[in-house]
Amino acid sequence: MDPVTGLSLGRIAIGIGSIASPSLTAKMFGLSPDQNPQIGMFTRMFGVREIALGGLTLMSKGSARRTMVLAGMAVDAGDAATGAIGLARKEFPVMAGGMLIAVALGAVGSGAAALAQGDQSQS
């Protein structure tokens, strides 16, 4: 399986989990749905976004596929920045903030690696 397909399927799986069980997903990231009952709505919105990004990337080809990977990387970088801001403002526990940032940066890195591999295979 090529890395872009793997990353896209991972996005879809996380999205489905976020919609199906927003409380469990929030807990996996160290967040407390009990202390913030609205988190379910935002977790589901996150899930829909992940499914859309993953699905559209899977359906795209050529330069459109590369553009979709770049869009996903931009979203993930924004997630990392949002996590850093929240951490600096002490809006959530340090462990949760660190995990959110690490996952987002990992996705950015996966996208970059997939693009680099794709660029080398087209040379």
Domain boundaries along the sequence of the chain: 3-121
What residues contact residue 47 under an 8 Å CB cut-off, 6+ apart? 14, 15, 16, 17, 18, 19, 22, 25
**96-112 pLDDT tens trace:** 899 989 999 999 999 99
Mean pLDDT, the chain, as a whole number?
91
- Decide: 117 and 3 in contact? Cβ < 8 Å: yes
pTM above the 0.85 mark?
yes
Burial class (CB in 10 A: 0-12, 13-18, 19+), 119: exposed
CA contacts within 13 A on the Cβ side of 19: 12
Statement: residue 119 has pLDDT above 70: no
* pLDDT classification of 123: cutoffs 50, 70, 90: very low
> What's the mean pLDDT in 33-44?
89
Looking at residue 31, its pLDDT comes to 84
Q: What is the average per-residue pLDDT within 3-18?
A: 93
Give per-residue pLDDT as tens, 73-100. Answer: 999 999 999 999 999 999 888 988 999 8
